[in-house]
Amino acid sequence: MMRILNILVIVALIAAASAVYKIKFDSTLQAEKAAKLRDEVRRERNAIARLRAEWAKLDTPSRIQALADRYLPLQPVKPTQFGDFNDLPPRPPAVPPPPDDPIGAMLTPGAPETTGSLPAQRR
């Protein structure tokens, strides 16, 4: 009987050792995956920083102005190109909406202010 108990204890110890080894091995694999992901995230952040720096360089107004001067036949703005509000044509008269258009009646200038809210309760 004692021999069977010893054998069972040895088998249990071997099973426990193999379970602990498997857990250690799995945790090592997970740590390696996490390290790889951290490296990848760092590389991507560096790439984003490089692209932002390149964008800032390409987006500078002086560079764009130089390109516009070189490739676009633009002329300087003349003061006569600007107008005044008095030069605008008059606003056309408001056309009343058809009688069967309740939304148009609400949008007509001078119409009473109506909303979708309930009227105030009287006390």
Q: State residue 47's pLDDT score.
A: 97
Kindly state whether residue 50 falls inside one of the protein's structural domains. yes
Q: Does pLDDT of 98 surpass 60?
A: yes
Residue 31 tokens read as 């740590």
Residue 120 is assigned to a structural domain of this protein: no
Q: 45-97, pLDDT tens digit by residue?
A: 999 999 999 999 999 999 999 999 899 998 888 888 888 888 888 888 877 77
Tens digit of each residue's pLDDT (9 = 90 or more) over 16-46: 999 999 999 999 999 999 999 999 999 999 9
Is 45 contained in some domain? Answer: yes
CA dist list (Å): 63 to 24, 27, 34, 57, 74: 57, 53, 42, 8, 16
> From CA 57, how far away is CA 44, in angstroms rounded?
20
- pLDDT of 117 over the 80 cut: no
Q: What are the Cα distances from residue 20, in Å, to 11, 14, 28, 53, 92? A: 14, 10, 12, 49, 86
Note down the domain range covering 55: 31-72
In a domain, 55, yes or no: yes
Q: Is the dihedral of CA 68, 70, 76, 82 positive or negative?
A: negative
Q: How many domains does the chain have?
A: 1
